[in-house]
Amino acid sequence: MGRKGRNVTNRGGSTANAMTGKVVLVTGGTGSFGKKFAEITLREHHPRVLRVFSRGEFLQYEMRQSFRDERLRFFIGDVRDRDRLYRAMDGVDIVVHAAALKQVPACEYNPIEAIRTNVDGAVNVIDAAIDRGVGKVLALSTDKAVNPVNLYGATKLCAEKLFIRGNAYVGEKATRFSCIRYGNVIGSRGSVIPMFKAQRETGTITITDGRMTRFWLTLDHGVRFVIGCMELMQGGEIFVPKLPSMRVMDLAKAIAPECKIDHIGIRPGEKLHEVLLAEDEARSAYDTGQMYVIRPTQGRRPGEGNGSGERLPDGFRYESGTNGHWLEVEELRRLAGEE
């Protein structure tokens, strides 16, 4: 089974000044990530203003009632709407771009809508950030962007390329773009855990393929990793955290140990194992100890701020199925709130 996994909610390095006194905007800010980002940012990093940009009027109302913090500002808008982004980014110092269509089946069934949000929306964010003089933009990506086999992954690959090459468009301006690429988030909307919990009431849970593995992290860990990378980014990097893997069969044992398992077959666009860093990318990536940093191969290069790190060996591949760090059933139960 490999060695026992570490707690994936560990805190990153000190980033107390990353957002202090700054105006920060998060797109998709009423989603799982956005709410946790707001919670940690307001409590620990003391921005002057945190702007929440999203489409959901009622979700914004709920978030406003929950937080009741005068530093929060709410902008109803869609990343497809270029003009609204220009208005929302006026006076903004830092943008965290979390808005996306994320459900693989929904993107497969609505490909044009996925492209309009995930690709065209990325272009709008880039243009608005440059023209409004935003200092730093961090875009969230996914392991599914590596060697994509579904449309969601393909759109996120395109978005990564757009943000990294966006640094070439800034000219003499100060805007810098970087990306964060990580795996499945425990407890986020659309996570397999809520599905298993609902299915166990019937006595049977469904699994597509028992060999499947995934990278796994908590929402808290994901948010803290993003905040930490704000200090490190120089522009053009893709930051990849070192994460534990989990086996879907272990997750089933953790959530529904008494249930029958129905193997329904792998779905279109689904992988057996996920990859966070592919062999071709590894040639320009470095191991900094806590993460891998993929540095830009063209245009602007990062400075000393993110550390030099060690070059990765030829043929290096960071895959969930061959990872040396595994979450065991007991820790999965704890992380899933079953203990």
State the catalytic residue, choosing from 35, 102, 144, 242.
144
Give every CB contact of residue 201 below 8 A, 6+ residues apart in sequence: none
Whether 173 sits among the annotated catalytic residues: the reply is no
What are the distances in angstroms from CA 296 to CA 20, 217, 290, 336? 28, 26, 19, 36
Tell me the β-bridge partners of 206.
Answer: 262
Per the CB < 8 A criterion, the answer to whether 147 and 105 are in contact is no
Tell me the β-bridge partners of 141.
Answer: 181
> DSSP alpha helices (H): ranges in the chain?
32-44, 57-67, 82-88, 104-109, 111-115, 121-131, 151-166, 192-199, 219-232, 248-255, 279-282, 329-335
Q: What span, in angstroms and rounded, lies between the C-alpha atoms of 45 and 34? A: 15
Q: For tokens 């599905």, what's the residue?
A: 195
Furthest C-alpha separation in the chain:
62
Q: For tokens 């940012």, what's the residue?
A: 41
User: 3-state class of 183 per DSSP?
Assistant: coil
Give every CB contact of residue 14 below 8 A, 6+ residues apart in sequence: none
Radius of gyration of the CA atoms of the chain, in A? 20
What are the distances in angstroms from CA 121 to CA 6, 118, 130, 163, 339? 36, 5, 14, 11, 40
Per the CB < 8 A criterion, the answer to whether 176 and 235 are in contact is yes
Task: Using alpha carbons, select from 228, 185, 226 the residue that is nearest to residue 96.
Answer: 226
Q: How many CA atoms lie within 13 A of 258 on its CB side?
A: 5
Catalytic residue positions, numbered: 144
